[in-house]
Amino acid sequence: MRRGYKWVDRELAAMDPESDWERMISLYAGHRIPEFGLAMMIYPGTMRMMQSSMTAATLAHTSKLETKPHRRFQDGNDFLTAWMVDGLSSEAGRKAAARLNRIHRAVDHRTPHLPGNLEDVDEFVYPLVLLATSGDRLQTSLGLPGTSEAMKIAWHRWAQTLFRLLDRGSGSLSDEAFPEDWNAMTEFAAKFDARPYEPTQAGHRVATAMMDFFAERWFPAPLRAFGRDITRYLAGEPVCRLHGIGWMSPRRERVVRIFLKSAFRAQRLLPDHRTPLPERLRRNRLTPVQLRQVERLTTRREREL
């Protein structure tokens, strides 16, 4: 294992997605996904998840995405690496699911003015479908090869299994229906996106904060407008217009597409990571003291504005 320049595909090809799906996801996420890739999942994905006015209101109420974005990003990384790299059958994976369930219960108790905000089963299905299918959707939108058939099976098994570990407001989701295969997941996402949604001030505020954080975290000041355009492209034009954060001109959209296509092509040429993703994340992780310092600066800047 881990021999040669490009070794991940060789290891994946030797596995059976019906029985080895957890190892396949762990290998792919642990040695193919960069930290920037996680950011591309978390922030534009959250903007898509909060198309519902209820979800937007819940995220706005917690305010963590607006006031503590660095902490929120690290928390999101912790959940995803526990579920993807450690695996859903591992102690870390199950503890992460239990922790998220506790967070949801606490939010539910603190928001009696938002009855049923953590009750809709579809609001749990959709984020998992996005996590499983977002890479394929992005690459095919750029005219690049998408996810292999074996990985489609593995991603579906992963999303379905994680769904069974989660709770909604009234109890476990283990007996609720989840899309039966990859095609059903993509069909579910298309139907969910096609629902009629109403713009909200909460959605605008949270989406703006996420877009700004993505740009500030990953791009120097002269390129932050470009970073915001990348976030817009990843979220999609209908979502951006819903949240009132604007869309790009055709020229700027072409520039974003060229950048993303080049990044994916470079990834195909560069050697697979030998160091697992969690270890790479730890190198850039902020300590609790650093997080507090960053959050104080953010609060001070907002007051000055």
Query: What would the pLDDT profile of 8-59 be if each residue is shown by its tens digit?
Result: 999 999 999 999 999 999 999 999 998 888 888 888 888 999 998 888 888 7
Taking CA atoms, 175 is separated from 6, 90, 129, 185, 295, in Å, by 40, 21, 18, 18, 40
The rounded percent of the chain whose pLDDT value lies above 70 is: 94
CA angle, residues 171, 177, 181, in degrees to nearest 5? 140
Residue 102 and residue 67: Cα distance in Å, rounded? 21
> Residue range 66-88: average pLDDT?
89
Contacts of the segment 189-194: beta carbons below 8 A, 24+ positions apart: 189/126, 189/129, 189/130, 189/133, 192/51, 192/122, 192/126, 192/129, 193/48, 193/51, 193/236, 193/238, 193/239
Backbone dihedral region for residue 87 (phi beyond 0: left; psi -120 to 50: alpha; all else: beta): left
Mode of pairing for the β-strands spanning 171-172 and 167-168: antiparallel
Q: What's the mean pLDDT in 53-82?
A: 83
Q: What are the angstrom distances between the C-alpha of 262 and each of 52, 228, 259, 265, 276?
A: 33, 18, 5, 5, 23
Of 23-32, 148-157, 158-167, 274-283, the least confident:
274-283
Residue 255 or residue 52, greater confidence: 255
pLDDT in tens, 79-134: 999 999 999 999 999 999 999 999 888 888 877 776 667 888 999 999 999 999 99
Q: What local confidence, expressed as pLDDT, does residue 4 receive?
A: 59
CA distances from 114 to 61, 167, 173, 207 (A): 10, 17, 20, 20
- Tell me the average pLDDT across 191-213: 93
- Classify residue 114 as exposed, middle or buried by CB count within 10 Å of its CB (0-12, 13-18, 19+): middle
